[in-house]
């Protein structure tokens, strides 16, 4: 079968070699608890502080506004549950959000407007503006849709929220490492996961603007500025900070390269399979391609491609294990048959031209089989 090709980087990414080396070294040589006062603890605290400084510097924020956690699912739960339990009221979101937001909001049983994205793939500032009510307490949207790659106009929506003094919480998972991040003053918080940008699984962070006040839902010690009790996973945090710090040197060239490879992939597949269409009409992030492959069955296609050495997905990794049609695509208004035939291909900065050429061959062969 030859070398396997991995085009499911929106589900998870391989570790950057320098991140892996740092992780191994830290695990091998350091074990102190940063809350301890002896030399081992002080050393751990210094490494934690340095990691926080690196992440804050990349985002252009204050270190105190960075909270390390296990990833964006935890971060968004902490923000949404903590804030809305303290200030219940009307919420504005969309029906194409990741399940960690969509399911959490459903469970809170608060009046929530789930805006439609339509075939564009992201809600518009106009729709958000029209959804504001007198008791609106929060707006929460994703920066980039993890299934289609379609961007949300964060700047304009943030301006709307800022003018009304309404907090705006953003799922930034699919944005970090794929483009620069501009934290508009109207963005109150943004959450990220390490394993989406060549860092380890099980570690992430939230940017939480100092003005956003809410009680912690994970109580315990004083860790993470009282935002997240529990001993910090120092080695993973150090590795995550290295992955973020590397972005200074690899962007924007890596984004341009991913976009060129993604466009080549789509062009070459559609040249040989004219019935293929792209899901999501709005502007997209550099690395994501969600293709509807005509009358093909997506589940069967995934299995065929996997057997031929190409890994892709049916949608979000949190739900694609069931191999059911994507909730996101269906909520966009895409017909069931088209949603069933849809496959997400997502590149990383390590994806090669040779892999894309071979991936085109596999997709075409699998679709014609």
pLDDT digit string (tens) for 286-312?
A: 999 999 999 999 999 999 999 999 999
pLDDT of residue 323: 60
Residues 6 or more apart in contact with residue 130 via CB below 8 angstroms: none
Does residue 320 register a pLDDT over 50? no
pLDDT-derived band at 172 (thresholds 50, 70, 90) equals very high
**What average pLDDT score do residues 179-202 get?**
97
Give the integer Cα–Cα distance in Å for 339 and 326.
7
How high is the pLDDT of residue 92? 98
pLDDT tens profile 90-114: 999 999 999 999 999 999 999 999 9
For residues 220 and 257, the model is more confident at 257
Q: pLDDT band for position 339 (50/70/90)?
A: very high
Asked whether the domain spanning 17-250 has the same topology as the one spanning 5-14+251-368, the reply is no
Measured CA distances, 367 to 264, 268, 330, 337, 358 (Å): 18, 14, 22, 15, 14
Which residues, in sequence order, are CB contacts of 347 under 8 Å at separation 6+?
A: 7, 9, 258, 261, 262, 265, 286, 287, 288, 356
CB–CB of 174/10 below 8 Å?
Answer: yes
Report the pLDDT averaged over residues 137-152.
Answer: 98
Q: What is the pLDDT of residues 22-52, one digit of tens each?
A: 999 999 999 999 999 999 999 999 999 999 9
Tell me the pLDDT of the chain averaged across its residues: 95
Q: Which of the residue ranges 37-41, 88-92, 317-321, 323-327 would you say has the lowest mean pLDDT? A: 317-321
Question: In sequence order, what are the residues at sequence separation of 6 or more whose Cβ sits closer than 8 angstroms to the Cβ of residue 339?
Answer: 292, 325, 326, 329, 330
Q: Is 50 exceeded by the pLDDT of residue 155?
A: yes
DSSP 74: H
The residue ranges of every structural domain in the chain are 5-14+251-368, 17-250
Q: Between 127 and 318, whose confidence is greater?
A: 127
CATH architecture of 17-250: 3-Layer(aba) Sandwich (3.40)
pLDDT band at 315 (very low <50, low <70, confident <90, very high): low
Overall average pLDDT of the 335-352 stretch: 96
* Topology, domain 5-14+251-368: 3.90.1150
Residue 161 among the catalytic residues? no
- pLDDT greater than 80 at residue 2: no
The tokens for 176 are: 């970090």
Q: Which of 10-14, 48-52, 214-218 has the lowest mean pLDDT?
A: 214-218
pLDDT at 319 over 80: no
Mean pLDDT, residues 78-92: 97
**Active-site residue, selected from the candidate residues 129, 161, 296, 318:** 318
Q: What confidence score (pLDDT) does residue 322 get?
A: 52
Helix axes 99-108, 72-86, angle to 10 degrees: 20
pTM of the model: 0.94
The pLDDT, as a whole number, for residue 316 is: 54
Q: For residue 317, is pLDDT > 90?
A: no
Q: What is the average pLDDT across 206-219?
A: 92
């Amino acid at each position: 079968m030859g070398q396997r090709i991995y085009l499911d980087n929106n589900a998870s990414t391989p570790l950057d070699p320098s991140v892996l080396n740092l992780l191994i070294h830290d695990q091998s040589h350091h074990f102190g608890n940063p809350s301890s006062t002896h030399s081992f603890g002080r050393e751990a605290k210094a490494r934690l502080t340095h990691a926080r400084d690196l992440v804050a510097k990349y985002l252009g924020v204050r270190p105190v506004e960075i909270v390390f956690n296990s990833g964006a699912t935890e971060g968004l739960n902490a923000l949404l549950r903590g804030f809305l339990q303290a200030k219940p009221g009307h919420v504005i979101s969309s029906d194409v959000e990741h399940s960690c937001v969509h399911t959490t909001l459903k469970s809170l049983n608060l009046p929530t407007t789930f805006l439609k994205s339509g075939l564009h793939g992201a809600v518009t500032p106009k729709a958000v503006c029209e959804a504001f009510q007198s008791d609106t307490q929060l707006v929460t949207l994703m920066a980039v849709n993890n299934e289609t790659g379609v961007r949300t106009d964060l700047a304009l929506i943030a301006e709307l929220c800022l003018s009304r003094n309404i907090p705006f919480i953003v799922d930034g998972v699919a944005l970090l490492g794929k483009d620069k991040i501009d934290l508009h003053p109207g963005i109150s918080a943004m959450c990220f996961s390490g394993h989406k940008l060549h860092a380890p699984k099980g570690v992430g962070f939230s940017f939480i603007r100092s003005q956003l006040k809410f009680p912690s839902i994970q109580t315990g010690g004083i860790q993470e500025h009282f935002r997240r009790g529990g001993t910090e996973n120092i080695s993973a945090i150090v590795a995550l900070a290295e992955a973020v710090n590397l972005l200074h040197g690899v962007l924007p060239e890596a984004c341009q390269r991913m976009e060129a490879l993604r466009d080549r992939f789509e062009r070459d597949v559609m040249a040989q399979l004219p019935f293929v269409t792209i899901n999501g009409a709005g502007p997209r992030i550099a690395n994501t391609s969600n293709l509807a492959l005509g009358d093909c069955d997506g589940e069967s296609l995934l299995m065929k491609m996997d057997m031929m050495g190409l890994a892709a997905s049916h949608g979000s990794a949190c739900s694609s294990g069931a191999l059911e049609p994507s909730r996101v695509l269906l909520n966009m208004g895409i017909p069931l048959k088209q949603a069933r035939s849809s496959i997400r291909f997502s590149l990383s900065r390590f994806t090669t031209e040779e892999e894309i050429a071979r991936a085109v061959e596999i997709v075409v062969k699998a679709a014609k089989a």
